[in-house]
Amino acid sequence: MTQTILEIKHLKKSFGANHVLKDISLTVQKGEVISIIGSSGSGKSTFLRSINLLEEPTGGEILFHGQNVLEKGYDLTTYREKLGMVFQSFNLFENLNVLENAIVAQTTVLKRSRSEAEAIAKENLNKVGMTEQYWTAKPKQLSGGQKQRVAIARALSVNPEAMLFDEPTSALDPEMVGEVLKTMKALAETGLTMLIVTHEMEFAKEVSDRVIFMDQGVIAEQGTPQEIFENPKEERTKTFLQRFLK
């Protein structure tokens, strides 16, 4: 049985006169892995940031388990906790070590006990391959790929219902990209619901249930990886893909 987690209806976001998102609708089922592709400036980041309300939408609805989170009185703190976010730039707490990075939100926001939070942090760090020898390291002592895996473990540690990734590998040296994609692929296989903005087309093809192609603030085309990558219907999808899949 499918279960709808998120229902985005006619979402709009403008910055002044710049209409960045123009009527985007998307339904996300539990366990779905959705990749979002598209040119620079097409609105991919703004879309993710609007979903978890890092940006305030200028129109439309976001239903989380059927309830409109934009309605007055909705518990936004809980909603935000339920959507883990991983950024291109890691955004780790530089003054905290690896383990503390994965603990802090659990004890402060979720009010978990120190021992419970520590156990959960360790489990998630192990899951992403950041094993015990790294736990006392500070972010600056880690490679980009390691930092990103800590960021993923940190996000997982608050038990999100869905994870949003905004180009998690595009700031990495090429040799680090694989380890992060492998981690994400393993997560996808656990049934985690994931929305991933990416330029890694091979990865998107491999892990996604659905691929969304965004162009100029709209979903220009969507479908299975096979439909989008092997048989795109829209001219603009074809043009975009030609630049990547030579």
**Which residues of this chain interact with ligand ATP, rule CB under 6 A?**
15, 18, 20, 38, 40-46
Q: Which span (39-47, 134-142, 213-221, 223-231) binds Mg ion, by CB under 5 A?
A: 39-47
Q: Residue 211, exposed/middle/buried by CB under 10 A (0-12, 13-18, 19+)?
A: buried
Q: What are the helix and strand counts (H, E) for the chain?
A: 9, 10
Q: What's the min distance (Å) between Cβ of 206 and ligand ATP? A: 21
Q: Closest distance between ligand ATP and the C-beta of residue 142, in Å?
A: 24
45 or 146: whose CB is closer to ligand ATP? 45
Instruction: Quote the least distance from Cβ 42 to ligand ATP, whole Å.
Output: 4
Residue with Cβ nearer ligand ATP (18 or 115): 18
| From Mg ion, ligand ATP, none, interface partner of 210 (C-beta below 5 to 8 A by class) | none
Q: Where are the beta strands (DSSP E) in the chain?
A: 4-15, 18-29, 33-38, 59-64, 67-68, 83-86, 162-166, 193-197, 210-215, 218-223
Alpha-carbon distance of 74 to 193, in angstroms, equals: 22
Strand partners, 211: 35, 223
Residue 178: Cβ-neighbour burial (10 angstroms; 0-12, 13-18, 19+): middle
CB-nearer residue toward ligand ATP: 110 or 241: 241
Q: Total number of residues binding Mg ion (CB under 5 A)?
A: 1
- Per-residue b or e along 88-117, where b marks 16 or more CB atoms closer than 10 Å to that residue's CB: bebebeeeebbbbbbbbbbbeeeebeeeeb
Nearest distance from residue 208's CB to ligand ATP, in Å?
17
Q: Does 45 bind Mg ion (CB under 5 A)?
A: yes
SS3 153: helix
Residue 237 interacts, among Mg ion, ligand ATP, none and using kind-specific CB cut-offs from 5 to 8 Å, with none
Nearer to ligand ATP, 118 or 166 (CB): 166
> How many CB atoms are located within 10 Å of the residue 58 CB?
14
Considering the complex, what minimum distance in angstroms separates the CB of residue 130 from Mg ion? 26
Residue 125 or 195: the one with the smaller Cβ distance to ligand ATP is 195
- What's the closest the beta carbon of residue 12 comes to ligand ATP, in angstroms? 12
Which of 117, 180 has the CB closer to Mg ion?
180
Nearest to ligand ATP of 46, 97 (CB atom): 46
In this structure, the number of other CB atoms found within 10 A of the CB of residue 144 comes to 17
Residue 73 CB partners (closer than 8 Å, separation 6+) = none
Stretch that binds Mg ion, among 44-52, 91-99, 154-162, 217-225 (CB under 5 A): 44-52
Let me know: does 36 contact 47? Beta carbons within 8 Å: yes
Site for Mg ion, rule CB under 5 A: 45
